[in-house]
Structure 1
Amino acid sequence: MKTFAMTALVSVLPVLALAHGDVAPQAVDTTGLPNVGEEWLTENPYRAEAAGEEVWSKAVKIGASGYNQNCARCHGLEVISGGLAPDLRFLEAEEYGDEWFVERFRHGYTQNGTTKMPAFGELLGQEAAWAIRTYIETRPDDESMAEVADELKGLRDQLDALSTGSGDADGELIKAELTEIAAGIETVSGAPVADSAASRAAAFIDGSEEGYRHAAEALTIGLSAAH
């Protein structure tokens, strides 16, 4: 997988200029994330096994915002590249992939004097970098999502009904089913946990109609992105 990933990334670097242009980096609010110091690390400090589930979850949320503001235009929504820029989902969730990511994030990429990716390091900082990295490496695998798409659609319809007070399904049972489905969804990067539509939907379910509505929306958005 490592050879394939790097080949895929390197092969599209020459066309990055078509995407980035003069887009100005947007600041990322990293409030709530542990400070990791001034010296740049070479391995993601916000993975759950190192920082705990709470920090990991916060990093994914902040990273999603940072990615959407600064990276999605070129690398695609939900990190699904349209072909003009590297598909960052294929960066391995280990030090090898981290080093490649942080090098590009800090210094950008130029070719023949032309900036094809701006340098984000000094402008956004290390905490933002690793939050974005955490979000990227937790993207779900398309095939894993496709395998459970029909099941998720059925649960989404039940949640829609519950959100209007017309459903008779057991919300807690749906949450348990979503949690079980989420545990089986793999990542492209090899990270142990995927931030999928199933896990996002499960997190919204709290017994309220509003919670059911947000959960149904999370599934709708996630299923749309997967296609």
Structure 2
Amino acid sequence: MPRTTRILASLGAIAAAATIAQAAGLPLDIQAVNTDALPDIGEEWLTENPYREQGEEVWAKAIEIGASGYNQNCARCHGLGAVSGGLAPDLRFLEAEEYGDEWYMERFRHGFTQNGVTRMPAFGDLLGQKAAWAIRTYLETRPDEDAVSAKSAELKALRDTLAAGGEVDAEAVKAELSGIAEEIETLSGAPVADSIAYRAAAQIDGTPASFNKAAETLTVGLSAAQ
């Protein structure tokens, strides 16, 4: 089934997700997202993600801010790590191209109503465009979990090397992590997955502190993947 078709087919399940959230006593209020660290993109709503082509630093910051915004406002229905579990659309599969962006932004701005009942609130006026595209950037860069699991043994070995202390060949470990990262794809078709291998490689700068940080990233990520 095509990715967008799969998402459209699951829209009706948003009602169930909202009902479950209410029954569990979960807050349904919308939390503000601080986007000050992102460059301005104007007042007019765009139809394509502007943070894809603004360089790695902006892209990484958009993912960081988008992760926070998603966890505060979206995860209760769409799932932690954007893994929906089937109750709401799995937004990891939404194509990282203009058509997917338009579909996403329509839902983000105006919400979703079914039979006169609001199943998804309209976030547009409340969170703004920068938050919208930051969350979109986070979603489209989610890695294929199966690909991460397939590399778990290699990642654990590298984690252990980093965590052991002593002398570490930083360049060799960084190169191995980068090689693994290149083999882990996104589910959206975006060219780079924000995987634990990608993040750990970026954190290594040759210092013991960076080895510990990268080891922690791998430990947390591998635990979540189990």
1:31 aligned onto 2:36: yes
TM-score (norm 1): 0.90
- The corresponding residue for 1:183 is 182
Letter in 1 for 2:42: G
In 2, the alpha carbon distance for the partners of 1:19 and 1:209 equals 45
Greater Cα offset, 191-200 or 51-60? 51-60
> How far apart are 1:62 and its partner, in Å?
1.1
> How far apart are 1:12 and its partner, in Å?
2.4
- The corresponding residue for 2:16 is 15
Contiguous gaps of at least 5 residues in structure 1: none
Q: CA RMSD in A?
A: 1.8
> How far apart are 1:67 and its partner, in Å?
1.0
Q: How many equivalent residue pairs?
A: 221
In 2, the alpha carbon distance for the partners of 1:43 and 1:93 equals 9
In 2, the alpha carbon distance for the partners of 1:27 and 1:3 equals 28
> How far apart are 1:144 and its partner, in Å?
1.5
- The corresponding residue for 2:60 is 57
1:223 aligned onto 2:222: yes
Letter in 2 for 1:100: W
- The corresponding residue for 1:192 is 191
Greater Cα offset, 111-120 or 84-93? 111-120
Contiguous gaps of at least 5 residues in structure 2: none
1:94 aligned onto 2:109: no
Could you say if the C-alpha distance between residues 35 and 182 of structure 1 is closer, same or farther in structure 2, counting changes exceeding 3 Å? same
Greater Cα offset, 74-83 or 16-25? 16-25
Letter in 1 for 2:155: L
Greater Cα offset, 74-83 or 194-203? 74-83
> How far apart are 1:129 and its partner, in Å?
0.2
> How far apart are 1:8 and its partner, in Å?
4.5
Letter in 2 for 1:170: D
Could you say if the C-alpha distance between residues 68 and 3 of structure 1 is closer, same or farther in structure 2, counting changes exceeding 3 Å? closer
TM-score (norm 2): 0.90
Contact 2:14 2:77 survives alignment (8 Å): no
- The corresponding residue for 1:6 is 7
Contact 1:78 1:225 survives alignment (8 Å): no
Question: Which string of whole-angstrom CA distances, capped at 9 and with x for unpartnered residues, describes residues 82-109 of structure 1?
Answer: 2222111011101111111111111112
Once the two structures are aligned, what percentage of the paired residues are identical? 64
Question: Which string of whole-angstrom CA distances, capped at 9 and with x for unpartnered residues, describes residues 83-141 of structure 1?
Answer: 22211101110111111111111111222332221111111100000000000000001
Provide the secondary structure at the position in 1 that maps to 2:31: coil
Letter in 1 for 2:174: K
Letter in 1 for 2:44: E
> How far apart are 1:20 and its partner, in Å?
5.2
Provide the secondary structure at the position in 1 that maps to 2:51: coil
Could you say if the C-alpha distance between residues 111 and 16 of structure 1 is closer, same or farther in structure 2, counting changes exceeding 3 Å? farther
Could you say if the C-alpha distance between residues 199 and 7 of structure 1 is closer, same or farther in structure 2, counting changes exceeding 3 Å? same
Question: Which string of whole-angstrom CA distances, capped at 9 and with x for unpartnered residues, describes residues 190-213 of structure 1?
Answer: 000000000111122122322212
